[in-house]
Amino acid sequence: MRHAEAESEAESGNDEMRALTLRGRERTRDAAGGLRALGIRFDAILTSSLARAAETAELVAGQYANNPPPQVLPALSPEVSPAEAISALAPFARCDSVLAVGHEPQLSKLVALLLTSSGAVAIKFKKGGCVALDLPKAVEPGAAELRWMLTQRQLRKLRKK
C-alpha cells in the first residue's frame, strides 16, 4: 500500500516528517474498511519509518484493533533499492498475509520485480492504492502472481457496500 495523501511540506521542512492531511487520514480509515470488507486479515503490517507511511499503517492497524500493530521495516524507505527491500521482506514469507506500506517509486519497482524478475512492467501506485500479490514459494524476484490492484477510492467504495 502506498501512503495516503500527505502535507506538501512539513513545518520543520524535513520531508521525512510530512504527516497525512485530514483528508488523507479519513480516506485511509475508509480504505482500511474496504480491506476488511474483502475479508483480508494481516499477520504483519510493515511500514517505512517516514511519518506519512507510518501514520497510514497505524490507521489501517486501527481498523483491525491494532492486531497486529505496525512495525517499522527500514527497507521500505524510498531510498532503498527494490532488491534490498525483497531481501528484508524474505523473513516474512512464513506469514500468510503481510501489508507493506511505503512510497513511490520504490513500491511500483518492488512489485514489478516480484512479478517479472526483471522489473519489466510499468506499475504506478496512486496515493493510498494497494496491490495484492500471491507469493506461493518465496519472496524473490519473479515469484509473485498479481491478485488485484485497487485505488484508495475503490477500496473506500467496497467499505460502503
Q: Give the model confidence (pLDDT) of 16-29 as tens digits.
A: 889 999 999 999 99
Domain count, the chain: 1
Residue type at 82?
A: P
Domain containing 79: what range?
Answer: 15-160
If 0-12 CB within 10 Å is exposed, 13-18 middle and 19+ buried, where does residue 148 land? exposed
- Degrees, nearest 5: CA angle 12-13-17: 70
What is the mean pLDDT of the segment spanning 133-145? Answer: 92
CATH of the domain at 78: 3.40.50.1240
Do 154 and 129 meet the contact criterion of CB atoms below 8 Å apart?
Answer: no
Asked whether residue 7 is assigned to any structural domain, the reply reads: no
pLDDT band at residue 161 under the 50/70/90 scheme: low
Asked whether residue 10 is assigned to any structural domain, the reply reads: no
Q: Which residue has the cell 517509486?
A: 105
User: What average pLDDT does the structure give for the chain?
Assistant: 94
pLDDT band at residue 13 under the 50/70/90 scheme: confident
Has residue 125 got a pLDDT over 80? yes
